[in-house]
């Protein structure tokens, strides 16, 4: 008998929500309520509240590792030294974009770039978001370049349609199981969530 079939989630933003929904759906878990969506610091400030709430329902929190630690274990311990078993704190190394880049052929097709331009080990990229923006600069699609890449004279870190374009990619093309071959932290998340759902975690 499955233990986890519907969960509450907490995420950094809109793109993270769509990615986590897709990830959970791939292992047969549905989403009830969505919390956070105010950035990483907000999640850190509220992680203990989510952990306490896990007494009454199941929770999955997704956060980027960024450069806060070399690997997930010390990062997780710094956020939540004692975790309720009804809560999973999943870490994207180094950012959610590395999980999207890991679906190499699909992201190359979507961005209209050669697949050889997509890193084989996206989790080794220091800044996967900037890597994605960098390779989008050579896209054959002018509209896509203008959406994802910040304008030359702008101080913005991303193009005006960056989030909406990546949400489009995630919803229509991204496949977590396929991407997991090139993203170890995604593979760990899939395995852990699968076991958690069936009560083997």
Q: Where are the domains of the chain?
A: 6-96+177-198, 98-175
Class in CATH terms, 6-96+177-198: alpha beta
Phi-psi region for residue 159, left (φ > 0), alpha (ψ -120 to 50) or beta? beta
The CA angle 2-96-39, to the nearest 5 degrees, is 95
pLDDT, residue 200, reads 73
Q: What is the pLDDT of residues 57-103, one digit of tens each?
A: 999 999 999 999 988 999 999 999 999 999 999 999 999 999 999 99
pLDDT, residue 201, reads 61
CB-based contact 112:139 (threshold 8 Å) = yes
Contacts by residues 78-83 (CB-CB < 8 Å, ≥ 24 positions apart): 79/44, 79/47, 80/47, 80/48, 80/51, 82/51, 83/51
Report the alpha-carbon distance of residue 62 to residue 91 in Å, rounded: 6
pLDDT, residue 199, reads 82
pLDDT, residue 72, reads 92
Segments of the chain scoring below 50 in pLDDT:
1
Report the alpha-carbon distance of residue 193 to residue 177 in Å, rounded: 13
pLDDT, residue 197, reads 87
């Amino acid at each position: 008998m499955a233990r986890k079939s519907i969960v509450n989630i907490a995420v950094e933003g809109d793109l993270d929500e769509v990615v986590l929904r897709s990830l959970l759906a791939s292992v047969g878990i549905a989403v009830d309520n969505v919390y956070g969506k105010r950035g990483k610091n907000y999640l850190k400030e509220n992680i203990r509240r989510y952990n306490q709430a896990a007494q009454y329902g199941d929770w999955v929190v997704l956060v980027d590792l960024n450069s806060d630690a070399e690997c997930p274990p010390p990062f997780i311990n710094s956020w939540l030294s004692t975790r309720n078993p009804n809560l999973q704190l999943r870490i994207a190394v180094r950012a959610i974009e590395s999980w999207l880049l890991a679906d190499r052929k699909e992201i190359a097709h979507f961005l209209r770039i050669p697949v050889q331009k997509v890193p084989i080990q996206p989790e080794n990229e220091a800044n996967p978001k900037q890597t994605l923006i960098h390779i989008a600069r050579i896209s054959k699609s002018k509209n896509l370049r203008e959406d994802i890449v910040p304008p030359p004279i702008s101080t913005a870190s991303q193009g005006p349609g960056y989030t909406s374009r990546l949400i489009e990619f995630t919803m229509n093309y991204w496949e977590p199981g396929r991407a997991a071959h090139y993203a170890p932290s995604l593979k760990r998340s899939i395995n852990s969530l699968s076991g958690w759902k069936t009560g083997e975690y």
